[in-house]
């Protein structure tokens, strides 16, 4: 894990991040595409539907209300930015469904002081939401092109508490460990042992585990006596490809 791979490192923010997110969203709200599609109204409607579907953490809802998802989807998918569905991004990957982003983020129970590792940066949308809710986000992506695009988006939003790394996230980011929370946004065949080892005691890992076709979304605590697991239900993610994931 050489330092030159950490091509994007933001300093810790000095002002409340949720206020920073809101300012960025306001600034982006006046663009031409926004006038065409009225993203602000669509974003508000999405938040209301997430509430109805059981998302109750107001901090999570505020972060999702502040981050413009249209900035993270392909231009050709712009009008679907607020549909509650996963959308294709480049390298055959996806930006996760908003309900899944909200469910996973809510499961993390972030209070604002946490150091969070995300495995699978993809578009950078989930990292942006986490950056609004935690002290610092470390995010790893295996595709350099995706990481580069995500870096540009996060920079454009002025989110200063995210570090991105290109590499095999199934092995974590040991140099920056331990983490209070780890979120894996790709499907693993088993709970990755190296990720568990990079959590603080009572830290939490949220990870989809199962076959390549269908998984269980697991919450795993690093209890002093060993992993404590519970399931949040079934889900479908693209595979985690790597040493502690699926082999290519
Ligand atoms: N969190 C993303 C977002 O907000 O757009 C969505 C992630 S997408 C469902 C899963 C991502 O995991 C893909 O971008 C994929 O390239 C990445 N991935 C798969 N295996 C990986 C690995 N071993 N290390 C890092 N990233 C990996």
Rounded mean pLDDT, 205-214: 98
- Identify the band that residue 88 occupies on the pLDDT scale cut at 50, 70 and 90: very high
The set of residues, in sequence order, having a beta carbon less than 8 Å from that of 148 and lying 6+ positions away, is 7
What does the pLDDT read at residue 18?
Answer: 52
What does the pLDDT read at residue 34?
Answer: 63
pTM of the model: 0.90
The single-letter DSSP state of residue 165 is E
User: By the 8 A CB rule, do 235 and 208 touch?
Assistant: yes
- Locate the ligand 1 atom nearest the alpha carbon of residue 143 and give its number: 16
User: By the 8 A CB rule, do 216 and 231 touch?
Assistant: yes
Report d(CA 161, CA 5) in Å as an integer.
18
The encoded tokens of residue 247 equal: 């082999």
What does the pLDDT read at residue 12?
Answer: 38
| Residue range 7-15+85-235, CATH number | 3.40.50.150
The single-letter DSSP state of residue 188 is B
- Identify the band that residue 37 occupies on the pLDDT scale cut at 50, 70 and 90: confident
pLDDT, the chain, mean: 90
Rounded mean pLDDT, 177-182: 98
The single-letter DSSP state of residue 26 is H
Residue 163 vs residues 85, 150, 202, 235: alpha-carbon distances, Å:
27, 11, 24, 27
Q: Which residues are catalytic?
A: 96
Angle at 218 between CA 61 and CA 124, to 5 degrees: 50
Q: How far apart are the CA of 35 and the centre of ligand 1, in A?
A: 31
The encoded tokens of residue 215 equal: 């998984």
Domain ranges of the chain: 7-15+85-235
User: By the 8 A CB rule, do 170 and 197 touch?
Assistant: no
Residues 43-58 pLDDT 10s: 999 999 999 999 999 9
Inform me whether the pLDDT recorded for 14 exceeds 60. Answer: no
The set of protein residues with a Cβ atom below 6 angstroms from ligand 1 is 93-96, 119-120, 122-123, 125-126, 140-143, 146, 168-170, 185-186, 237-238, 240-242, 245
What residue's CA is closest to ligand 1, atom 19? 240
What does the pLDDT read at residue 248?
Answer: 84
Side-chain half-sphere CA neighbours of 186 within 13 A: 25
User: By the 8 A CB rule, do 195 and 207 touch?
Assistant: yes
- Locate the ligand 1 atom nearest the alpha carbon of residue 241 and give its number: 20
């Amino acid at each position: 894990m050489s330092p030159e791979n950490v091509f994007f490192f933001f300093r810790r923010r000095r002002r409340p991040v949720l206020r920073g997110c809101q300012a960025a969203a306001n600034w982006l709200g006046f663009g031409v595409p926004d006038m065409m599609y009225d993203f602000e109204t669509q974003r508000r409607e999405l938040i209301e539907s997430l509430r109805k579907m059981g998302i109750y953490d107001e901090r999570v809802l505020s972060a999702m209300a502040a981050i413009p998802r249209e900035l993270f989807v392909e231009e050709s998918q712009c009008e679907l930015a607020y549909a509650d569905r996963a959308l294709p991004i480049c390298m055959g990957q996806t930006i996760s469904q908003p309900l899944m982003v909200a469910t996973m983020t809510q499961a993390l129970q972030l209070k604002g002081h946490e150091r969070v590792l995300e495995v699978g940066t993809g578009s950078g949308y989930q990292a942006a939401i986490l950056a609004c809710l935690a002290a610092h986000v470390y995010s790893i992506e295996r595709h350099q092109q995706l990481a580069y695009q995500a870096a540009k988006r996060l920079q454009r939003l002025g989110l200063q508490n995210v570090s991105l790394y290109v590499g095999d996230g199934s092995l974590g980011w040991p140099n920056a460990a331990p983490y209070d929370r780890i979120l894996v946004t790709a499907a693993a065949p088993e709970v990755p042992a190296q990720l568990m080892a990079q959590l603080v005691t009572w830290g939490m890992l949220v990870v989809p585990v199962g076959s390549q076709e269908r998984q269980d979304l697991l919450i795993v605590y690093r209890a002093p006596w060993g992993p404590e697991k519970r399931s949040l239900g079934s889900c479908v993610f693209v595979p985690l490809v790597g040493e502690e994931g699926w082999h290519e």
